[in-house]
Amino acid sequence: MSDRTITNSADTEESTGKARSILQVAVPPTLVFLLILLIWYAITYFVLEPDRRFLLPPPHGIVQEGILTLETLAEIGGGLYRTTTVSLLGLAIAFALGFSMALVMSQAKWIERSLYPWAVVCQTVPILALVPLLGFWFGFGLMSRIIVCVIIALFPIVINSLTGLQSVEPKLHDLLTLHKANRWTRALRLQIPAARPLIFTGLRTSAGLSVIGAIVGDFFFGRGQPGLGILLDRYSRRLKSEELLAAVIAACLLGVVVFWIFGVIGRRAVGHWDPSWADERD
Amino acid sequence: MEPVISFTDVTKHFGITHALDHTTLSIRKGEFVSLVGPSGCGKSTVLRLGSGLIRPSSGQITRSSDSIGYIFQEPTLMPWRTVEQNVRFLGELEGMNREENSRRTSEVLSLVGLEEFRDFYPLALSGGMKMRTSIARSMLLDPELFLFDEPFGALDQISRARLNAELTGLFADRRFAALFVTHSVDEAVFLASRLLVMSKRPGRIVAEFEIPYSFPRNPSIRYEPEFAVLAGKVAATLAEAS
């Protein structure tokens, strides 16, 4: 009986603790959001002259034009869908390619030395310079857009996976050597499991980059089925500021959601044993 | 009886560093040999040579079996595996049958007193429990030879003394052959049936002591006068060799 009382009180304590921590997490950013809205309204109505108000339409105008107008909503929704598809496909390919590169590089110093500079080139190449060339070679459709994403998202995956694969304690390698493990066993049983926390870190970083790549590619190819990039370009040319801001917000939301989802995946996968992921919050 | 491991006139160089000099030693089953020496004298090199991880520059090393329990300085566990999964790992590597592996795992976990912690990840364990897990792992395949590379150096005094005593219990039970490297004289005397003192680099064995106590050993022998005399002699020899 007394046991039960103790358990119950512990439960309540835990749940109030949880409620408190949710409050702590949710309240401050909400306050900042309200503050931003306040400043926004202030600029729209007190700083801008009525004839220049189109530069920063009020938030409720954006809701009205961008979300409550079905035609625009469908347009932005379609763009969001296409951009999401492109960035996820790009991310998947970048992951397959980047992880394979890292795995191969981890097997021998000379392979690492041969491939590493090219991974760096991917990172440093000004993607805009390549866009016309990619369009020229692969057309202005899905393929070119995905290639832009892959180029932009590749490096963090390669570098994080490689660091992870090489992060294994040397003594664990000794243990496998004592038991005559071959290269495959070493990779499958030791290096890949050990690399997972960093692989997920790379994946999360690249997921955000891949969204940027999808939008940038779309923006500069400027042809084909419109994604968010084309819409941004179109709305700004036509001075449709409500729609423009609605599209910007959609792009931001996509970035945040993708980052968050990969955070949750990483925490679920390795949070129970890796301290750096265990401390993460939603 | 054939020695489980023997070194004959073994020398080891790493580049220009002369790590080990003309060393001869052998260990039989049922012998617990401690090796003490100043830091950097090549004690760990002896273990790496003995396990076959590295080869001698000259001289010969023979072992009666390939099955070795190697206990490293750190627990060297896989953080993504639970205690139980860490212990059964070597069985998986060697293709041991699943049920046999589970049975052996439970056996060695109970030998080191970790049954209740079998589902814990290393993240949640104390240093002493991690080391116990590491010892359990090395016992899974029931090797004839155990090599200890200063395994308790990072532990607090209380855990260290407890694990020392438990180790003499395991040894009393199974009578394997052991080579235990440490730079604690007290620990070396407490654990060993025979004790070797190594000189500073290039390392060579400069003295040998028989330790007469029977196994398992009670922690209280540390406070007996004979123990103190013996430890004093070892410490004096070690001081001379450093």
Nearest Cα residue to B163 out of B112, B208, B213:
B112
Nearest residue of B to residue A278, measured between CA atoms: B123
What integer pLDDT is reported at residue A280 of this predicted model? 64
The whole model's pTM is what?
Answer: 0.86
Specify the DSSP element, H or E, that contains A56. Answer: none
From A177's Cα to the closest Cα of chain B, the distance in A is: 7
Chain A hits for B79, CB-CB cut-off 8 Å, are 194, 273-274
Collect all residues with Cβ–Cβ distance below 8 Å to B30 and sequence separation of at least 6. Answer: B175, B176, B177, B193
Q: Which residues of B88-120 are buried (b: 16+ CB within 10 A; e: fewer)?
A: bbbbebeebeeeebeebbeebbebbebeebbee
pLDDT of A9 higher than 60 = no
Q: Give the mutation candidate from A167, A168, A171, A279 for the B interface (greatest B CB count, under 10 A).
A: A171
CA pair distance B142, A161, nearest whole angstrom: 36
**B200 φ/ψ angles, rounded to the nearest 5 degrees:** -70, 170
A175: nearest CB among B52, B76, B80: B76
Contact between residue A218 and residue A226 where contact means Cβ atoms under 8 Å apart: yes
Nearest residue of A to residue B79, measured between CA atoms: A273
From A166's Cα to the closest Cα of chain B, the distance in A is: 14
A178: nearest CB among B70, B74, B123: B70
In three-state secondary structure terms, B66 is: coil
DSSP per residue over A119-152, as a string? HHHHHHS-HHHHHHHHHHHH-SSHHHHHHHHHHH
Torsion of CA A46, A47, A53, A58, to 10 degrees: -60
Q: Helix and strand tally (H, E) in chain B?
A: 7, 9
Amino acid at A16: T
DSSP β-bridge partners for residue B210: B194
CA pair distance B4, B30, nearest whole angstrom: 10
For residue range A181-240, list pLDDT tens digits in order.
999 999 999 999 999 999 999 999 999 999 999 999 999 888 888 999 999 999 999 988
For chain A, say whether B74 makes contact (Cβ under 8 Å): yes
ipTM of the complex: 0.91
CB atoms within 10 A of CB B151: 24
Length of chain B: 242
Query: Within 13 Å and on the Cβ side, how many CA atoms surround A103?
Result: 18
Contact between residue A263 and residue A204 where contact means Cβ atoms under 8 Å apart: yes
B94: nearest CB among A169, A172, A179: A179
Residues of A with CB under 8 A from a CB of B: 169, 171-172, 174-179, 181, 185, 189-190, 193-194, 196, 270, 272-275, 278
The pLDDT profile of chain B, 242 residues, written as one tens digit per residue, is 789 999 998 999 988 888 888 889 999 999 999 999 888 778 889 999 999 999 999 999 999 988 899 999 999 999 999 999 999 999 999 999 999 999 999 999 998 999 999 999 999 999 999 999 999 999 999 999 999 999 998 888 888 999 999 999 999 999 999 999 998 999 999 999 999 999 888 888 999 999 999 999 999 999 999 999 999 999 999 998 87
Amino acid at A12: T
